[in-house]
Amino acid sequence: MTEDSQRNFRSVYYEKVGFRGVEEKKSLEILLKDDRLGILPPHHESHAKVMMYRKEQYSDVLHALKVIRFVSDATPQVEVYLRMYQLESGKLPRNSSFPLEPEDEAFLAIAKAMEEMVEDSVDCYWIIRCFVNQLNTKYRDSLPQLPKAFEQYLNLEDSRLLTHLKMCSAVSKLPYDLWFKRCFAGCLPESSLQRVWDKVVSGSCKILVFVAVEILLTFKIKVMALNNTEKITKFLENVSVL
């Protein structure tokens, strides 16, 4: 504690970077100790073993699904992922023909986007699974707050746009699901999505709000030109096409 008076002059810089302490080793350790999605432990030595577990688990589940004939080779990979996830979370429907829940849709969207990013199916499954898990657990409380935050930030950035949206009564009907539940899967190109999801994975779900606000600001003129709720929504849902 006596060091406090003669603190390292670099401490300010360290604090900026995110290090609380002066000893970078410790701080780095702390930082690195934080596992991201929890797929692999921070210890490198156990990676191989854990990875083997993961693979086995994946194959087991897949096998099980195949055994019960829930999936076949013809089943699209994304759906396979979904079924696996359902199975693991105990939500596997009795029949595959049962209609999908909205969260399943979101999963599918995310999986589809992720599938393009990751080649290996095991990794892909695990990443999808953990990502969705994180959304459903870690951000369960904050995700519903996001639309409000979005309004707030939009008001700060461009109140006119917000008023325009409000006038069109489009505020409540904006594609919040697409933005906050699917995390822009299918809405943004892959490279952008990677960066956004990196942030999301790192623990910030507010990035979603900013991205949404930025999308609106980018297409402000076009949005302002539209005065129909449906049109606006439709336009915003198809941003990636543009």
CB of 53 to other proteins, least distance (A): 4
Q: Which of 68, 156, 167, 225 binds other proteins (CB under 8 A)?
A: 68
CB atoms within 10 A of CB 14: 16
The single residue listed with the structure tokens 């699974």 is 129
**CB of 43 or CB of 160, closer to other proteins:** 43
CB of 34 to other proteins, least distance (A): 12
Buried b (16+ CB within 10 A) or exposed e, 170-208: bbeebbbebbbbbbbbbbbeeeebeebbebbeeeebbbb
Q: Applying CB under 8 A, does 90 fall inside the site for other proteins?
A: yes
CB of 23 to other proteins, least distance (A): 15
CB of 61 to other proteins, least distance (A): 5
**CB of 37 or CB of 224, closer to other proteins:** 37
The residue among 193, 205, 189, 197 whose CA lies nearest residue 239 is: 189
DSSP-based three-state secondary structure for 188: coil
How many Å apart are CA 124 and CA 83, to the nearest integer? Answer: 14
CB of 56 to other proteins, least distance (A): 6
How many amino acids of this chain bind other proteins (CB under 8 A)? 25
**CB of 40 or CB of 117, closer to other proteins:** 40
Contacts of 161 by beta carbon, 8 Å cutoff, 6+ apart: 154, 216, 217, 220, 223, 224
How many residues are recorded in the chain?
242
CB of 150 to other proteins, least distance (A): 34
Contact map string, positions 22 to 61, toward other proteins, x by CB under 8 A: -------------x--x-xxxx-xx--xx--xx-xx--xx
Residue 232: CA atoms inside 13 Å, Cβ hemisphere, count? 26
**CB of 7 or CB of 47, closer to other proteins:** 47
The residue ranges that bind other proteins (CB under 8 A) are 35, 38, 40-43, 45-46, 49-50, 53-54, 56-57, 60-61, 64-65, 67-68, 87-90, 92
